C-alpha cells in the first residue's frame, strides 16, 4: 500500500526573488553559472579538481562550495589556484539562491567568465531550488545503482547534462549503462550523458571541452 | 572564505509530538523500531533483502519504505513475504514522524516485534527528524569516499550502528577502513561498525544476529 504526503512550497517562492537577482548579476558581469548536483560521494569535488586543471588557464573560473560543515572542498579547489568560496549551510540539505547571492558577493565577478556551484550532496532538495544558474549538471556514479533516475526524477528532469562517474568501477557492479540511458531518456529526452572516471581520467577532456563550449559558445 | 547560514527549526518541534505518539504505540505493542538511513545508492534495500531472508522466520517483522516516488522498494520487500508499507513523500527529502505514524496505522502491530523504517536516501535531513525509533542505523558504502563522517556528522553522531556496505568493492577504491574508524570514533565514540557486502553476503549473518539481539535482548 502507498501513502502520498503533500509538500509545502512557500520557501520555493521566496527563493525566486534571489534567483532573479543572481541572473541579473551574472548577465551584467558576463558570467555563466553552473550548478552541479549529486548524491554524497558521487565524486563532484574530484571531478571538479580534474576539470579545473584543464580549464583554469583557458577561462577565468571560480567555485562556490556548498557543505553542511567543513571547508574541505573549498580547500581542495583553492589548492589548484582557483578562487573558492565555502558556503556552510549549518545543517541545511541544499543551497538556496540567497546563499549563492551572498557567496557571489565575495568574488571578483568582473574578472570571471564562469562560476561553478557545487551543491550539497543530495539528490532531492537541491533540485527544487533555482539558483539562477544557466546550466544544471547532475553527477551519478555507477556504484549507486540503476534505480536512481526513477526514484529521484526531478533532478534528472531539470538538468541539461548527466555525468556518469566512476566508470572504472563498472566491471565490479551490476550497473547497466544501457538501462540508465533508457530510464534517463524517459524522464528527460534532452538529457545529454557523458561517461567519465574522475579518478582515472577517462572522459575528462570531453567533459571539460563541453563546459568550455557552453560558456564561450565555441 | 566561509559563510555560515542559520537553520530554521519550528518544523522539528512539530515533529516531536508525533514521535512521542510513536514511542507510546510501539511500547504498547512490544515493537522495536529501527530507522535505517544512508545516501541514495548506499544499498539499504539490498541490505534489507539479505537481512529479511535470515530473520523473517525468527521474528515477526514489517518494513516501512520511504521514497519520493515509486513503490519499487516496497515491492522488493513484499516479494520476500514481509509486510511492507510504501511512504511516498512526493518530493520531500526525509520521513517525518507524522508520516511514519500514518504508515504504522496500516500494519497489524499486535502481530509484530520489529518494524524497520528505510528512510529516504539522504545523509542530511533524515538525521534531524526523530521518528520515535528505538535505534538508528546509518549505512555508508565504500564507494562514497572517506570524507562523509566529517561532512555529515549529525547522522553518524545520532546513530548506534554504522554498517559499512560494499566491502567487495574496497580493492577498487581509495577508501580506507582505518581512517573511517578514526573519523567515526571522533564524532561518536559509541558508534559500532559492522562491515558487510549486501550483494555478496559478507557479514550479513553477523549483522542479522546483531539486529535480532537488539530486539529480543538475547
pLDDT at A18: 95
Interchain pair A123, B199: CB under 8 A:
no
Contacts of B124 in chain A (CB under 8 A): 68, 91-93, 120-122
Which of A96 and A8 is assigned the larger pLDDT? Answer: A96
**Torsion angle defined by CA atoms of residues A26, A29, A32 and A35, in that order, rounded to the nearest 10 degrees:** -40
Give the span between the Cα atoms of A177 and A135, in whole angstroms: 23
- State the DSSP code for A12: H
Most B CBs within 10 A among A7, A12, A41, hence the mutation to make, goes to: A41
Torsion sign, CA atoms A90, A20, A136, A199: negative
- How distant is the Cα of B83 from the closest Cα of chain A, in angstroms? 10
Give the span between the Cα atoms of A33 and A135, in whole angstroms: 7
3 state DSSP class of A42: coil
H or E element that contains A135: strand A135-141
Q: B15 at the A interface (CB within 8 A)?
A: no
**Residue from the list B72, B106, B145 with its beta carbon closest to the beta carbon of A151:** B72
pLDDT digits (tens, 9 = 90+) for A159-178: 999 999 999 999 999 999 99
Interchain pair B151, A43: CB under 8 A:
no
Cell numbers describing residue A107: 568574488
pTM assigned to the model: 0.91
Q: B10 at the A interface (CB within 8 A)?
A: no
Give the span between the Cα atoms of B208 and A88, in whole angstroms: 37
Q: What is the 3-state secondary structure (H, E, C) of A50-115?
A: HHHHHHCCCCCEEEEEEECCCCHHHHHHHCCCCCEEEEECCCCCCCCHHHHHHHHCCCCHHHCCEE
H or E element that contains A212: helix A204-216
- Would you say residue A31 has pLDDT above 90? yes
pLDDT at B3: 59
Mean pLDDT of all residues in chain A? 94
3 state DSSP class of A139: strand
Size of interface A-B (CB pairs under 8 A): 168
pLDDT digits (tens, 9 = 90+) for A37-96: 999 999 999 999 999 999 999 999 999 999 998 999 999 999 999 999 999 988 888 999
- Residues of chain A with pLDDT > 70, as a percent, come to 95
Instruction: Please list, residue by residue across B139-159, b when 16 or more beta carbons sit within 10 angstroms of its beta carbon and e when fewer do.
Output: bbbbbbbbbbbbbbbbbbebb
Give the pLDDT mean for A146-157: 96
Interchain pair B2, A74: CB under 8 A:
yes
pLDDT at A7: 43
Q: A146 at the B interface (CB within 8 A)?
A: no
Q: Which residues of chain B have pLDDT under 70?
A: 1-10
Q: How confident is the model at residue A4 (pLDDT cuts 50, 70, 90)?
A: low
Radius of gyration of chain B (CA): 17
Residue B129, classified by CB atoms within 10 Å of its CB into exposed (0-12), middle (13-18) or buried (19+), is buried
Interchain pair A40, B173: CB under 8 A:
no
Residues 168-207 of chain A whose Cβ lies under 8 A from any Cβ of chain B: 168-169, 172-174, 199
Interchain pair A6, B90: CB under 8 A:
yes
Interchain pair A151, B68: CB under 8 A:
yes
Q: A12 at the B interface (CB within 8 A)?
A: no
Question: Count of CB atoms within 10 A of residue B9's CB?
Answer: 11
Interchain pair A152, B199: CB under 8 A:
no
Residue B135, classified by CB atoms within 10 Å of its CB into exposed (0-12), middle (13-18) or buried (19+), is middle
**Residue from the list A39, A90, A128 with its beta carbon closest to the beta carbon of B40:** A39
Nearest CA in chain A to B99: A5
pLDDT at A6: 45
Residue A213, classified by CB atoms within 10 Å of its CB into exposed (0-12), middle (13-18) or buried (19+), is exposed
Q: B78 at the A interface (CB within 8 A)?
A: no
pLDDT digits (tens, 9 = 90+) for A179-190: 999 999 999 999
Q: What is the 3-state secondary structure (H, E, C) of chain B?
A: CEEECCCCCHHHHHHHHHHHHHHHHHHHHCCEEEEEEECCCCCHHHHHHHHHHHHCCCCCEEEEEEECCCCHHHHHHHCCCCCEEEEECCCCCCCCHHHHHHHHCCCCHHHCCEEEEECCCCCCHHHHCCCCCCEEEEEEEHHHCCCHHHHCHHHHHCCCEEEEECHHHHHHCCCCHHHHHHHHHHHCCCCEEEECCCCCCCCHHHHHHHHHHHHHCC
Give the span between the Cα atoms of B140 and B165, in whole angstroms: 6
Give the span between the Cα atoms of B166 and A13, in whole angstroms: 40
- Would you say residue A218 has pLDDT above 80? no
Contacts of A106 in chain B (CB under 8 A): 1, 3
- Residues of chain A with pLDDT > 90, as a percent, come to 89
Residues listed for chain B: 218
Torsion sign, CA atoms A55, A56, A61, A62: positive
Contacts of B88 in chain A (CB under 8 A): 2-5
Give the pLDDT mean for A195-205: 98
pLDDT digits (tens, 9 = 90+) for B68-91: 989 999 999 999 999 999 999 888
Amino acid at each position: 500500500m502507498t501513502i502520498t504526503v503533500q509538500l509545502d512550497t512557500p520557501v520555493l517562492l521566496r527563493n525566486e526573488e534571489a534567483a532573479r537577482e543572481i541572473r541579473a548579476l551574472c548577465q551584467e558581469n558576463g558570467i555563466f553559472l553552473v550548478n552541479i548536483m549529486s548524491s554524497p560521494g558521487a565524486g563532484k569535488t574530484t571531478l571538479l579538481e580534474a576539470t579545473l586543471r584543464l580549464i583554469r588557464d583557458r577561462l577565468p573560473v571560480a567555485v562556490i562550495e556548498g557543505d553542511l560543515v567543513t571547508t574541505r572542498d573549498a580547500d581542495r579547489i583553492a589548492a589548484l589556484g582557483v578562487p573558492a568560496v565555502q558556503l556552510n549551510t549549518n545543517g541545511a540539505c541544499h543551497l538556496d539562491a540567497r546563499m549563492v547571492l551572498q557567496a557571489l558577493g565575495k568574488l571578483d565577478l568582473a574578472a570571471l567568465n564562469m562560476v561553478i556551484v557545487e551543491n550539497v550532496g543530495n539528490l532531492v532538495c537541491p533540485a527544487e531550488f533555482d539558483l539562477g544558474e544557466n546550466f544544471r549538471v547532475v553527477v551519478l556514479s555507477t556504484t549507486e545503482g540503476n534505480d536512481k533516475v526513477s526514484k529521484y526524477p526531478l533532478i534528472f528532469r531539470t538538468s541539461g547534462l548527466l555525468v556518469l562517474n566512476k566508470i572504472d568501477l563498472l566491471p565490479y557492479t551490476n550497473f547497466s549503462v544501457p538501462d540508465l540511458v533508457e530510464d534517463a531518456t524517459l524522464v528527460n529526452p534532452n538529457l545529454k550523458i557523458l561517461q567519465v572516471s574522475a579518478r582515472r581520467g577517462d572522459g575528462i577532456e570531453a567533459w571539460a571541452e563541453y563546459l568550455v563550449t557552453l560558456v564561450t559558445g565555441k
